[in-house]
C-alpha cells in the first residue's frame, strides 16, 4: 500500500532557530500534500495544502512566513518552521494524496513529527 | 463551509462490548467522503473506514461499521467486540470533492477507553 515517510519523528531545538520537516511519498506520486498541526488532546488542524510545483495555500490564521512549505517534486514536501518559539512546540503531521479525490485509499498519513522548542 | 462535530470527548466501554462513537457533519457539497481514523498514543493516524456520500450501503471493515444516515448528516462509528487495543483517540473526518480543494477536515475527536 501507499507509504508516506515523515522525518524527523521528533526534534528539539533552541528558540530562534529554524527546523525543517520532510514528508516523502515512497511508492506513489503525491500531487497534493496537506500539513496538519496537533496540540495535545486536540484535533488535527489543517495548516496548508501544497500542490507540486505551485505555492502552498494556507489556512486562515496560519503565518505563511513562519511556516514555509515547499513541494518541489511529486514525492517530497517540506515544512520549515522559521525562528521557532516555544509556542510552536506541537505535533506536525503530513498527508499525501495521489489524485484529487477517489476514495479513502489515496490519502496517506506520515507518522508525524514532534517538535519541542526550548 | 464544511464542519465536523464529535460531541463525546471521552467514552468508556467494557471489553468485548460494542460502542458507538458519534459524528455529525455539515456540508453544501453533494459529493463528499467520510472517514474515521484511530490515533493511538504513538500519534500515527490509522485509517479505519470510509463512506462515500453516494454509497447506499453502510461501510463495514471487520469489527468497524459506519452507521451512515445522510438525511441526518451523521456518520457514527460502531466498534463491535471491543478490545483493550482499541483504547485510543478516534477522529471523524470529511473530504469534499468539489469544494475546499479536497482537503480533509477533522472533528474534535473522542478518546475511547476500553476497560478489562
Asked if B70 reaches chain A (Cβ–Cβ under 8 Å), the answer is: no
Among B87, B95, B22, residue whose Cα is nearest residue A95: B95
Residue B23 DSSP one-character state: -
Cα–Cα distance for residue pair A75/A59, rounded to 1 Å:
22
CA pair distance B96, B28, nearest whole angstrom:
9
- Answer whether residue A103 shows pLDDT above 70: no
Residues of A in contact with B90 (CB under 8 A): none
Confidence at A99, pLDDT banded by 50, 70, 90:
low
Nearest to A104 among B33, B91, B107 (CB): B33
* pLDDT 10s digits, B73-101: 999 999 999 999 999 999 999 988 766 56
Window 46-85 of A: residues touching B by CB (8 A cutoff) are 46, 49, 57
Kindly report which listed range (A1-5, A20-24, A42-46, B4-8) carries the lowest average pLDDT score: A1-5
> Mind telling me how many Å the CA of B108 is from chain A's nearest CA?
5
Residue A116 in this model has a pLDDT that exceeds 90: yes
pLDDT at A101 over 60: no
pLDDT digits (tens, 9 = 90+) for A84-94: 999 999 999 99
- Burial of A7-23, coded b for 16+ CB within 10 Å and e otherwise, reads eeeebebeeeeebebbb
Residue B99, pLDDT score: 62
- Kindly state whether A3 is in contact with chain B, defined as any CB-CB distance less than 8 angstroms: no
Instruction: State whether B108 and A93 contact (CB < 8 Å).
Output: no
Residue listed under C-alpha cell 484535533: A43
Contact A32 B109 (CB under 8 A): no
pLDDT at A15 over 70: yes
Q: What would the mean pLDDT of A17-33 be, rounded to a whole number?
A: 91
- The answer to whether the CB atoms of B35 and A104 lie below 8 A apart is yes
User: Given a cut of 70, is residue A36 above it in pLDDT?
Assistant: yes
- Chain A with chain B: Cβ pairs closer than 8 A: 60
B88 with B70: CB under 8 angstroms? no
- Which residues of B fall within a CB distance of 8 Å from A69? none
Q: List B residues 95-114 in contact with A (Cβ-Cβ < 8 A).
A: 95, 97, 101-109, 111
Summarised one tens digit per residue, pLDDT across range B26-60 is: 988 888 899 999 999 999 999 999 999 999 899 99
- A55 pLDDT band, cuts 50/70/90, is confident
pLDDT value of position A53: 81
CA distance A48 to B51: 25
pLDDT bucket at A68, cuts 50 / 70 / 90: very high
**pLDDT reading at A67 higher than 90:** yes
Amino acid at each position: 500500500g501507499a507509504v508516506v515517510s515523515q522525518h524527523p519523528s521528533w526534534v528539539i531545538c533552541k528558540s530562534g532557530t529554524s527546523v525543517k520537516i520532510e514528508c516523502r511519498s515512497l511508492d506513489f506520486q503525491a500531487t497534493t500534500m496537506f500539513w496538519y498541526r496537533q496540540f495535545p488532546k486536540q484535533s488535527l488542524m489543517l495548516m496548508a495544502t501544497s500542490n507540486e510545483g505551485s505555492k502552498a495555500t494556507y489556512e486562515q490564521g496560519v503565518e505563511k512566513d513562519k511556516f514555509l512549505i515547499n513541494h518541489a517534486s511529486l514525492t517530497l514536501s517540506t515544512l520549515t518552521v522559521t525562528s521557532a518559539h516555544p509556542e510552536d512546540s506541537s505535533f506536525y503531521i503530513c498527508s499525501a494524496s495521489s489524485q484529487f479525490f477517489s476514495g479513502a485509499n489515496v490519502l496517506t498519513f506520515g507518522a508525524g513529527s514532534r517538535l519541542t522548542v526550548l | 463551509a464544511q464542519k465536523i462535530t464529535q460531541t463525546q470527548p471521552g467514552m468508556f466501554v467494557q471489553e468485548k462490548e460494542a460502542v458507538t462513537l458519534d459524528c455529525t457533519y455539515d456540508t453544501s457539497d453533494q459529493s463528499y467522503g467520510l472517514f474515521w481514523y484511530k490515533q493511538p498514543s504513538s500519534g500515527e493516524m490509522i485509517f479505519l473506514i470510509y463512506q462515500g456520500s453516494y454509497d447506499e450501503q453502510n461501510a463495514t471493515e471487520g469489527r468497524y461499521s459506519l452507521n451512515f444516515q445522510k438525511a441526518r448528516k451523521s456518520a457514527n462509528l460502531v466498534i463491535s467486540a471491543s478490545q483493550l487495543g482499541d483504547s485510543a483517540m478516534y477522529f471523524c473526518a470529511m473530504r469534499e470533492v468539489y469544494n475546499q480543494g479536497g482537503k480533509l477536515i477533522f472533528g474534535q475527536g473522542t478518546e475511547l477507553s476500553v476497560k478489562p
